Amino acid sequence: MTDLKLWYDTPAQAWTEALSIGNGRLGAMVFGGATRERLQLNEDTLWSGGPYNPVNPEALAHLDDVRNLLFAERYTEAEAAANRWLMGKPIKQMPFQPAADLWIEMTGIGEVADYRRELDLGTAIATTSFTADTLGIHREIFATAEDGVIALRIMAARPGTLSLRVTLTSLQKGAVRSPAIGTLRFEGHNSAAYGIDGALTFAVEGRVSTDGHLETGPQSVDVSGASEVTILIDAATSYVRFDDVSGDPVAKLTTRLDAATALGWRQLRENHIANHHALFSRLSIDLGETSAARLPTDQRIAANPHVADPALAALFVQYGRYLLLASSRPGTQPANLQGIWNDNLTPPWDSKYTTNINLQMNYWLADPANLAECIEPLLRLVQEVALTGRETARVHYGAPGWVLHHNTDIWRATAPIDGAKWGLWPTGGAWLCVQLWDHIRFGDDGLIADLYPALKGAAEFIAHVLVPLPDTDLLVTAPSLSPENVHPLGAALCYGPAMDSQIIRDLFDATIEAGDKLGLDPDLRTQLAKLKSQLPVDRIGKAGQLQEWLADWDMDVPEIHHRHVSHLYAVYPSAQITLEGTPELAAAARRSLETRGDDATGWGIGWRINLWARLRDGDRAHAVVQRLLSPDRTYPNLFDAHPPFQIDGNFGGAAGIIEMFVQSQNGEIHLLPSLPAAWPAGRVTGIRARGGIEVDLVWADGALVEAMLKGSGARTVSVLYGMNRVELTPHFDGSRVTIADFDNAHPAAPAGANRHDGAPED
Ligand code: FUC
The H or E element spanning position 650 is helix 648-661
Q: Where are the alpha helices (DSSP H) in 425-497?
A: 428-441, 448-465
Cα 356 to ligand 1 centroid, rounded to whole Å:
8
Cα 388 to ligand 1 centroid, rounded to whole Å:
23
Average pLDDT, the chain: 96
Q: Distance (Å, rounded) from C-alpha 582 to C-alpha 571?
A: 10
Cis peptide bond prior to 479, omega within 30° of 0: yes
Q: How confident is the model at residue 747 (pLDDT cuts 50, 70, 90)?
A: confident
Indicate which atom in ligand 1 lies nearest the CA of residue 356: 1
Q: From the CB of 563, is ligand 1 less than 6 Å away?
A: yes
pLDDT digit string, tens, across residues 683-734? 999 999 999 999 999 999 999 999 999 998 888 999 999 989 999 998 888 8
User: H/E/C letters for each residue in 525-537?
Assistant: HHHHHHHHHCCCC
Decide which of 107 and 657 is more confident: 657
Q: From the CB of 646, is ligand 1 less than 6 Å away?
A: yes
Best CA proximity match to 585, nearest among 573, 574, 572, 576: 576
Q: Distance (Å, rounded) from C-alpha 311 to C-alpha 318?
A: 11
Cα 623 to ligand 1 centroid, rounded to whole Å:
23
pLDDT at 118: 98
pLDDT at 749: 59
pLDDT at 98: 98
Given a contact cutoff of 8 angstroms between Cβ atoms, the answer to whether 591 and 545 are in contact is yes
Other C-beta atoms within 10 Å of 251: how many? 10
| Paired strand residues for 136 | 131
Q: From the CB of 502, is ligand 1 less than 6 Å away?
A: no
Cα 465 to ligand 1 centroid, rounded to whole Å:
25
Among residues of the chain, what percentage have pLDDT more than 70? 98
pLDDT at 752: 41
Q: From the CB of 360, is ligand 1 less than 6 Å away?
A: no
The mean per-residue pLDDT over the stretch 610-624 comes to 98
Cα 706 to ligand 1 centroid, rounded to whole Å:
41
**Which pairing describes strands 668-671 and 717-721: parallel, antiparallel, or unpaired?**
parallel
Q: From the CB of 427, is ligand 1 less than 6 Å away?
A: no
- Asked whether residue 211 carries a pLDDT value surpassing 70, the answer given is yes
pLDDT at 714: 84
Indicate which atom in ligand 1 lies nearest the CA of residue 483: 8
Q: Is 702 exposed, middle or buried (0-12, 13-18, 19+ CB in 10 A)?
A: middle
Least confident range from 314-323, 372-381, 460-469, 710-719: namely 710-719
Contacts made by residues 508-513, CB under 8 angstroms, sequence distance 24+? 508/459, 508/462, 508/532, 509/756, 510/433, 510/434, 510/437, 510/455, 511/455, 511/456, 511/458, 511/459, 513/437
Q: From the CB of 358, is ligand 1 less than 6 Å away?
A: yes
Indicate which atom in ligand 1 lies nearest the CA of residue 648: 10
Q: Look at ligand 1, atom 9, and give the residue with the nearest C-alpha.
A: 601
Which of the listed residues 337, 355, 356, 357 should we mutate to test ligand 1's pocket, taking the one with most ligand atoms within 8 A of CB? 357
pLDDT at 740: 84
- Asked whether residue 760 carries a pLDDT value surpassing 60, the answer given is no
Q: How confident is the model at residue 750 (pLDDT cuts 50, 70, 90)?
A: low
- Asked whether residue 417 carries a pLDDT value surpassing 70, the answer given is yes
The mean per-residue pLDDT over the stretch 29-37 comes to 98
CA distances from 663 to 315, 668, 675, 688 (A): 20, 8, 12, 9
Q: Distance (Å, rounded) from C-alpha 578 to C-alpha 572?
A: 9
Q: Look at ligand 1, atom 1, and give the residue with the nearest C-alpha.
A: 354
Q: From the CB of 362, is ligand 1 less than 6 Å away?
A: no
pLDDT digit string, tens, across residues 51-78? 999 999 999 999 999 999 999 999 999 9
Cα 536 to ligand 1 centroid, rounded to whole Å:
27
Q: From the CB of 349, is ligand 1 less than 6 Å away?
A: yes
pLDDT digit string, tens, across residues 347-406? 999 999 999 999 999 999 999 999 999 999 999 999 999 999 999 999 999 999 999 999
Q: Give buried/exposed letters for 365-394 (b at 16+ CB in 10 A, else e).
A: bbbbbbbbbbbbbbbbbbebbbbbbbbbbb
Cα 406 to ligand 1 centroid, rounded to whole Å:
10
Q: Distance (Å, rounded) from C-alpha 42 to C-alpha 107?
A: 27
Q: From the CB of 355, is ligand 1 less than 6 Å away?
A: no
pLDDT digit string, tens, across residues 513-555? 999 999 999 999 999 999 999 999 999 999 999 999 999 999 9
Q: Distance (Å, rounded) from C-alpha 557 to C-alpha 529?
A: 34
Cα 419 to ligand 1 centroid, rounded to whole Å:
13
Tally of residues, the chain:
762
Q: From the CB of 601, is ligand 1 less than 6 Å away?
A: yes
pLDDT at 108: 82
Which of the listed residues 484, 648, 650 should we mutate to test ligand 1's pocket, taking the one with most ligand atoms within 8 A of CB? 484
pLDDT digit string, tens, across residues 568-579? 999 999 999 999
State the angle between helix axes of 522-533 and 498-518 in degrees (0 to 180), rounded to the nearest 10: 160
Q: How confident is the model at residue 756 (pLDDT cuts 50, 70, 90)?
A: very low
Q: Distance (Å, rounded) from C-alpha 428 to C-alpha 354?
A: 9
Q: Is 220 exposed, middle or buried (0-12, 13-18, 19+ CB in 10 A)?
A: middle
pLDDT at 3: 77
Q: From the CB of 337, is ligand 1 less than 6 Å away?
A: yes
